[in-house]
Amino acid sequence: MKKILFLLTALIYFQADIFAAKLEKTTVILNAPWGLTWIDSNQLLITQKSGEIFLVDTNGFAQTEINHDIPSVQFGQGGLLDITSEGNKVWVTCSIKKKGKYTTAVFQGELDGNNLINTKLIYEALPYMSSSKHFGSRIEIMGDYLYVSIGERGKGMIAQDTSNSIGSIIRLHKNGDIPKDNPYQDKDDWLPELYQIGVRNPQGMSLDPLTNTIFISNHGPKGGDFIGPVISGSNYGWKKVGWGGTNYSGTKVGDGNAWEPGLLKPDFIWVPSIAVGGIKFYQGEAFPEWQNSLLVGSLKFQYLSVLHRQDNQFVKEEIIFQDHIGRVRDMEINDKGEIYLIADEFDSYLYILKP
């Protein structure tokens, strides 16, 4: 009875205040999920930090665990993280361990029934570190390429060191090969996989259908979370600048500037931080007023919002709901425009926002 009353209360709230939308809790039970991707119009793959991958049929919400041999290790902020797919091809980001240290890695596999087969490591960020922080990591497909966000592992200025990929966005071919047209392919002092540097902990990534540009969400320090584009050869400046935030001690980041000449400016910044999570550009018929705007998940304040756009600029954030599912980690959109949501919580569920 309590569960029924809660659901009714939630339906009334969203119908009254948020464009006649309602939030539904499915029967799919999850523990600290991190990423999700469509296999086809009715089936989702969902990852959990602890290492599980589930196949969910959204017609009846049958939930099946996928067998796999990806050696992810749950450690601090790491674990089995993002997932994306193309046909039966699947790519996963995760933290892995070697000689007592950890890094962010990318694996590729093929979905065969309830099994992920032919899995192979196609990328590992070097160096491995003992830190449990800031693994990132999201992965996005655009054309023939994979774009992967690599966190700076709490090491600050390492994000300006081009001899490694820590604190960067890398670009790979889908098999892990490095594209010959990457911006620093021919520079001896730059890793050839580097596409963009100077990020701190990018935990969201989405392809903008209007500009055909990938955008990231990035965690600032104490303030300075941001949304911004992935631009070839650019530098967001961490830890020279803090995008309006300070160190957790209250001291300045660098010279205290939010931005400096020569660095890429974020498109939208939060001060104080919201602990920005997954992002997704909205396209669909269910909520036409959000078309081509950006959905944003907040971990700290436990909300889903929409960043409205005007002339391709983010101009206004509107909170859709707050404190209903916990720390909003990621979202996907089905062919009806309904929004599927996961929260970084134990004893959680798969949720759907629909008209």
- Domain boundaries defined on the chain: 1-26+274-355
pLDDT of residue 187: 86
The model scores a pTM over 0.85: yes
How open is the CA angle 94-27-13, to the nearest 5 degrees?
A: 100
pLDDT of residue 15: 45
The model's confidence at residue 84, banded by pLDDT at 50, 70 and 90, is very high
pLDDT of residue 185: 86
Mean pLDDT of 223-243: 98
Residue pLDDT, tens place only, 89-143: 999 999 999 999 999 999 999 999 999 999 999 999 999 999 999 999 999 999 9
pLDDT of residue 3: 35
The Cα 221–Cα 27 span in angstroms is 36
pLDDT at residue 2 is higher than 60: no
Peptide bond into 239 cis (omega under 30): yes
The Cα 274–Cα 211 span in angstroms is 26
pLDDT of residue 85: 98
pLDDT of residue 136: 94
Mean pLDDT of 36-46: 97
pLDDT of residue 16: 36
The closest alpha carbon to 48, from 29, 33, 28, belongs to 33
Burial class (CB in 10 A: 0-12, 13-18, 19+), 320: buried
Residue 289, amino acid: E
pLDDT at residue 13 is higher than 50: no
| Sign for the pseudo-dihedral over CA of 266, 270, 273, 274 | negative
pLDDT of residue 186: 84
